[in-house]
Structure 1
Amino acid sequence: MPRPAVPARTPLPRAVEEVDTRFLETLLGYNARRAALAVIDVFVQRMEPYGLKPVDFSVLSLVRHNPGITSRQLCTTLGILPPNLVGMINTLEKRELVERLPHPRDGRAMGLHLTTGGQKLMRDAEKTAAELEADFASRLTPAELRTLIGLLQKVYREP
């Protein structure tokens, strides 16, 4: 009886010793996302004592520096969809961080203002955020930091 044919051996797959990221590192989006993730991971940790997510922080910071800002202005500035902002504002209002007051020029609109508790929270949270930024910015010279911020803004702002 003839012996069955032995199938040819398939070569073992190659093992990757070192990951090649050269192509990805040429992409603006990849680099911007990697930098953002590095900062955001630490930001999330440092904002935890305040009970703030990055978007909450951004909304409250804009309200702090623009008392009376409307929901529409917040949506436009931060690129948030109105239905998403409504729930967020309701939550911040329940936490007694913001209050809605009638807009002085538009009877249909409500302006957002920080409460006394919101002012205190944001003073502390913005101080913490500034310290975080200083930690990451220390990797760059002041001129490099200005250039980087300017270039990033050039990417996301309308011409």
Structure 2
Amino acid sequence: MSAAQPASSPDVPTVEQVDTRYLEGLLGYNARRAALAVIDVFVERMSPYGLRPVDFSVLSLIRHNPGITSRQLCASLGILPPNLVGLVNNLEKRELIQRQPHPRDRRAVGLHLTPAGAALTEAAEKTAAELESDAAGRLSPAELKTLIRLLKKVYL
């Protein structure tokens, strides 16, 4: 005996083509869709380095700001201090970063890349640059610059 098919009713709407116009007019929707398109590939390409997006961001900031403090990292990345502690500890266990006394503040500790951390971060940044080029392939250099400037206006 076959399963009964529900009778079609002319009053029940069907969707032939999905109308996404409302969502496509929202900043958050578009930002999230763009981020997902980039982040999925980023995660895949960073896996050989054993880096998550936040790990990459921390290492990159340390590379370009030797001696940066945890407080400065938190402020720059919007990370809560308790969340950064484990991340920094993990990077230190991997011997990618080291803590050194801050030259002006006895209470603070500066973060520095180890030679292994510097090599890994440099390679990961090259991979990230290639990814950015691939992800922005449909944009002209001027469009990409404008997009980044506009996105910064939202969160800065």
* Correspondence for 1:88: 87
Task: Work out the CA distance in 1 between the residues paired with 2:91 and 2:14.
Answer: 51
Q: Distance in 1 between matches of 2:35 and 2:112?
A: 29
Equivalent AA in structure 1 for residue 143 of structure 2:
E
Counterpart in the other structure of 1:49: 48
Give 1 or 2 for the bigger CA radius of gyration.
1
Match of 1:20 in 2: 19
Rounded to whole Å, the distance in 1 between the matches of 2:139 and 2:43 is 22
Letter in 1 for 2:20: T
Q: What RMSD over aligned residues (CA atoms) do the two structures have, in Å? A: 1.3
Once the two structures are superposed, the pairs formed by residues 28-43 of structure 1 within 5 Å of their partners are 28-43=27-42
Count matched residues: 149
Matched, 1:155 2:154: yes
Change (3 A) 1:15 1:102: same
Dislocated runs of 4+, deviation >6 Å = none
Matches within 5 A, 1:74-85: 74-85=73-84
Structure 1: state its 5+ residue gaps. Answer: 1-8
TM-score scaled by length of structure 1? 0.90
Q: Secondary structure at the match of 2:148?
A: helix
Match of 2:96 in 1: 97
AA at the equivalent of 1:23: Y
Secondary structure (helix, strand or coil) at the match of 1:135 reads: helix
Cross-structure match for 1:72 = 71
1:99 aligned counterpart, secondary structure: strand
Residue 10 of structure 1 deviates from its aligned partner by 8.3
Deviations 1:7-52 (A, max 9, x none): xx78374332322111000000100110011000000000000000
